[in-house]
């Protein structure tokens, strides 16, 4: 990442000082505790001054509308206290002077305004762009007393420089003695470069953090479902032995008159396995009651197997669904795509901002249209809305991946192979040396009632091994 150094700030100020000097601050917003937006107007033109004091990408610039969207700015309904303080003192005031202390990464905006009794006063907004020490401080230039800070700094955090309301403002200690610049500094007209560069950095970081957040949620659910499936499989293996209870009951009834009631055990010939066995009995019950007890155990085990099998199938389907979501998270490359996935992951969470609906990837193979779904919503759209009966549907076998749709009534083997390769490319098995891809006509695809988003069943499929 390119550092926002003192020389870059110096170049930016030279480019924009003429517009800033004499401009009026119309509106102040604070989307988060670390970024601020000042709407500044001069000579009929309004620009948005963006101040970011995040330790990772601290910078200042006039931002374009496109990059404002890229920064994913959301204005809170209730402004923070520092924002209210800035509005009180600075809104509708004029910037009379701008300055950068020599060699420092500090931008100073000197503001001419009036106090409560209509006396003219001069304030200074010091924007300190210094890594983890980045801060914004508003102080009275006449008295040098701080009115407020974005972040207060107490004695426990700094022995050399405390920052808080009512304290005097001082420059940071150990002032630099020369201009500092990185090897990849910005040009002599840096504003657009700074705006573009950091907007992309913030956008990419948002994508990364959202992906990690969603992966943690899904992996927790996956771990829970896999543990439950393992326990159910153990119970199933145990219940599968219940057939022996039916056999014991049958053998006892077949030998009902060969042994005495209230016996501790009997030795009989197992005609199914052709060997003699000993059956342990409840000696407090008759032979017939023991047989009935074994039949009850058999029926109970059989019902348990049916129930556990159903639950296991549901868990397997849900695990497949969650793995599909993980794949969709991995290949998502926009906030809009992640927002669609987020509706599946956190359906009850109120969406603060509406996002554009994303479309499946549209490609062309030998003149025919091919559609690729990059998440469950797009996959569902392909199957439910976009496809026609004679289109061909492709998907990797037993593996999370995209739904691929070919719009071609009579495709050649070559086209089918290319679509199968595309299905492999857009799947979790993209780097595998060998994977099966199934395909069938759309009319043989069906979405079961109440099925997870993007889940389908199919028939008359064929397989291509890639």
Which helix (H) or strand (E) element contains residue 167?
Answer: none
31 Cβ partners below 8 Å, 6+ apart?
37, 73, 74, 75, 76
Own/partner pairs for 200-204, CB < 8 Å, 24+ apart?
Answer: 200/70, 201/1, 201/57, 202/52, 202/57, 202/70, 202/71, 202/72, 203/70, 203/71, 203/72, 203/335
pLDDT in tens, 225-284: 999 999 888 877 766 677 788 888 899 999 988 899 999 999 999 888 889 999 999 999
Mean pLDDT over the full length of the chain? 91
The pLDDT tens digits of the residues spanning 385-431 come to: 999 999 999 999 999 999 999 999 899 999 999 999 999 999 999 99
Q: Report pLDDT digits (tens) over 148-163.
A: 999 999 988 888 899 9
Given a cut of 80, whether residue 352 has pLDDT beyond it is no
Taking the whole predicted model, whether its pTM rises above 0.95 is answered as: no
Q: Is it the case that residue 354 has pLDDT exceeding 70?
A: no
Instruction: Give the burial class of 448: count Cβ atoms within 10 A of its Cβ; 0-12 exposed, 13-18 middle, 19 or more buried.
Output: exposed
Average pLDDT on 187-206 reads 93
Distance CA 210, CA 205 (A): 8
């Amino acid at each position: 990442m390119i550092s926002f150094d003192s020389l870059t700030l110096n170049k930016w100020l030279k480019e924009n000082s003429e517009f800033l000097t004499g401009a009026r601050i119309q509106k102040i917003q604070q989307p988060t505790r670390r970024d601020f937006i000042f709407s500044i107007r001069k000579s009929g033109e309004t620009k948005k001054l963006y101040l970011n004091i995040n330790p990772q990408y601290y910078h200042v610039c006039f931002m374009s509308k496109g990059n404002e969207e890229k920064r994913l700015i959301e204005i809170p309904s209730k402004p923070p206290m520092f924002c209210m303080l800035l509005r009180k003192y600075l809104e509708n005031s004029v910037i009379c002077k701008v300055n950068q202390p020599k060699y420092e990464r500090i931008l100073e905006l000197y503001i001419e305004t009036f106090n409560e009794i209509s006396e003219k006063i001069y304030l200074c907004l010091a924007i300190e762009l210094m890594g983890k020490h980045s801060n914004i401080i508003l102080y009275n230039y006449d008295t040098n007393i701080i009115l407020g800070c974005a972040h207060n700094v107490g004695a426990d955090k700094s022995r050399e420089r405390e920052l808080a309301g009512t304290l005097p403002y001082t420059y940071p200690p150990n002032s630099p003695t020369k201009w500092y610049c990185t090897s990849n500094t910005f040009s002599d007209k840096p504003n657009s470069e700074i705006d573009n560069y950091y907007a992309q950095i913030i956008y990419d970081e948002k994508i990364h953090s959202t992906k990690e957040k969603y992966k943690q949620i899904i992996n927790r659910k996956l771990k829970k479902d896999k543990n439950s499936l393992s326990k159910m499989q153990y119970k199933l293996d145990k219940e599968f032995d219940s057939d022996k209870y039916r056999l014991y009951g049958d053998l006892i009834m077949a030998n009902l008159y060969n042994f005495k009631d209230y016996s501790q055990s009997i030795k009989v010939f197992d005609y199914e396995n052709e060997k003699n066995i000993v059956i342990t009995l409840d000696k407090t019950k008759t032979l017939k009651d023991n047989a009935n007890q074994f039949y009850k155990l058999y029926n109970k085990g059989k019902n348990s197997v049916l129930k556990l099998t159903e639950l296991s199938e549901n868990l397997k389907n849900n695990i497949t669904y969650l793995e599909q979501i993980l794949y969709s998270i991995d290949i998502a490359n926009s906030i809009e795509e992640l927002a669609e996935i987020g509706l599946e992951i956190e359906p009850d969470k109120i969406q603060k901002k509406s996002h554009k609906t994303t479309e499946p990837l549209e490609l062309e193979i030998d003149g025919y249209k091919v559609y690729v779904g990059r998440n469950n919503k797009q996959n569902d759209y392909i199957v439910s809305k976009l496809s026609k009966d004679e289109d061909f549907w492709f998907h990797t076998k037993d593996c999370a991946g995209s739904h691929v749709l070919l719009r071609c009534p009579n495709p050649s083997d070559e086209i089918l192979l290319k679509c199968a390769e595309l299905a492999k490319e857009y799947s979790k098995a993209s780097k595998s040396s060998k994977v099966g891809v199934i395909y069938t006509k759309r009319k043989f695809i069906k979405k079961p009632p109440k099925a997870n988003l993007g889940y389908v069943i199919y028939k008359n499929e064929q397989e291509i091994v890639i």
